[in-house]
Amino acid sequence: MASPSYQSVSSIGVLEKCMERADGQRDPVEDLARTARIVILAEEAYDITDTLASRPSSYEEQLALLARLAVKVYKDLESLYNKGEGERVEEALKRLRYMAANLEKLFRYLRCVEAEGGEKLLNREVRRLAALSLAPDHHALSIREILWG
């Protein structure tokens, strides 16, 4: 059996390899979480992050739900943009426009992680996505405030 430090180094190597295959430059988990945060907070879709954390194997279904909610949030923000809230919602609209590309990179990354590192490493990365998607940031909170009034 490998020592814990060897496993950690091995896991890091797998993650780096998969990150390179997915995008090469940026962490696909963090990229999607930046956008997901807006959707999760705006729609109070905490059930998605709860399910990702408790049942990581359901990530494809949960991310499909997230994508559907992202369309709704995009339409809501676009409506506000057209009503003169342009500057305040522009960054969120930009993030949401890139969601499909970020989802595609994330799926590629997670499939690689599972193939190269196994289910345990995949589960860890999906749980990391859940945590990062739930953690509020200033921008996501301001978007929620704009949408909720």
Q: How many domains, in total, are found in the chain?
A: 1
Please list, in sequence order, all residues whose beta carbon lies within 8 angstroms of the beta carbon of residue 74, skipping any fewer than 6 positions away: 93, 96, 97
Residue 149 is predicted with a pLDDT of: 81
| Count of alpha carbons within 13 angstroms of residue 120, beta-carbon side | 5
Residue 6 is predicted with a pLDDT of: 44
Domain range for residue 86? 4-148
Give me the mean pLDDT over the 105-130 stretch.
Answer: 97
What distance in Å separates the CA atoms of residue 90 and residue 86, rounded to the nearest whole number?
Answer: 6
57-105 per-position pLDDT tens digit: 999 999 999 999 999 999 999 999 999 888 889 999 999 999 999 999 9
Residue 22 is predicted with a pLDDT of: 82
Q: Hey, what long-range contacts does 44-52 have (CB within 8 A, 24 or more apart)?
A: 45/69, 46/134, 48/133, 49/130, 49/131, 49/133, 49/134, 50/130, 52/126, 52/127, 52/129, 52/130, 52/133
What 3-state DSSP class applies to 98?
A: coil
Inter-residue contact 110 to 59 (CB < 8 Å): yes
1-30 per-position pLDDT tens digit: 444 444 566 888 888 999 888 877 799 999
